[in-house]
Every structure is written in C-alpha cells, then in structure tokens.
C-alpha cells in the first residue's frame, strides 16, 4: 500500500495545463487524487463516454473530464496571471498557508 502524497493543488484552484494535448488551456480544478497523483480540470482532458440510461439520467455519448497527471498542471499566479510554483509560508501564529512562488501572493481564498 502506498503512502499519501501531498498535493499542493487543491479543488477550485485556477490552473493552466503545461503539457499534453490540452497544453495552454486554463480551468478550475474539479477534483484531486493525491494518492494517484491525478487531477480533473474543467475543460481539459475531455473524453467521450458511452453511457447507459440509469435512474433519472438519460443515456448516450457524453463528454466528461478525465484524470490528468498533476505534473502537467501549474497554479495560476493571482497577481500576474502566469503559471507559478507553490510554496508554503508559516505565519507568526504557526498557521501554514500556500503562496505563489513567483510573486509571494497568497493562494488562500
């Protein structure tokens, strides 16, 4: 069994895809799987899924986001709008927060 990896990207973060067929697309993170090292990004990695009707949901061919590797996305800096790395900063009271490495602006809402 694998240990849990720390993902510096969280749900609802704004990211840009930096590698793969959707390179350059920007979107919001819909889900994170840190153990597998994967993320779902809105509008990136879209696949077609053949789906049976079930319950109140109709069937057919639907478009949905697939998991993409977490190394293929980077957080968007809130100040410049460009891709940046993430680092942690420890406040005076011991609280840890995520900040953009390029500008030093906080990524917390």
Domain ranges of the chain: 14-52+59-79
Query: pLDDT at position 95, please?
Result: 93
Does the pLDDT value for residue 2 go beyond 90? no
Query: pLDDT at position 24, please?
Result: 96
Say how far apart CA 71 and CA 102 lie, in whole Å. Answer: 18
**What is the average pLDDT value for the chain, to the nearest integer?**
93
Environment class of 83 (CB within 10 Å of its CB; exposed 0-12, middle 13-18, buried 19+)? middle
Query: pLDDT at position 5, please?
Result: 72
For 14-52+59-79, CATH gives 2.30.30.30
Percentage of the chain lying above the pLDDT 70 cut: 96
pTM of the model: 0.84
Does the pLDDT value for residue 57 go beyond 90? no
Query: pLDDT at position 104, please?
Result: 92
Does the pLDDT value for residue 70 go beyond 60? yes
Altogether, the residues listed in the chain come to a count of 109
> pLDDT class for 81, splitting at 50, 70, 90?
very high
């Amino acid at each position: 069994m694998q240990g849990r990896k720390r993902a510096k990207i969280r749900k609802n973060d704004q990211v840009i895809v930096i590698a793969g067929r959707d390179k350059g697309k920007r979107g919001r993170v819909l889900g994170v799987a840190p153990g597998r090292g994967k993320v779902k990004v809105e509008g990136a990695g879209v696949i077609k899924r053949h789906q049976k009707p079930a319950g109140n949901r109709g069937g057919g061919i639907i478009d949905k986001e697939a998991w993409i590797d977490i190394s293929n996305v980077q957080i968007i800096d809130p100040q410049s709008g460009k891709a940046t790395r993430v680092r942690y900063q420890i406040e005076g009271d011991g609280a840890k927060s995520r900040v953009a490495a390029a500008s030093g602006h906080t990524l917390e809402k």
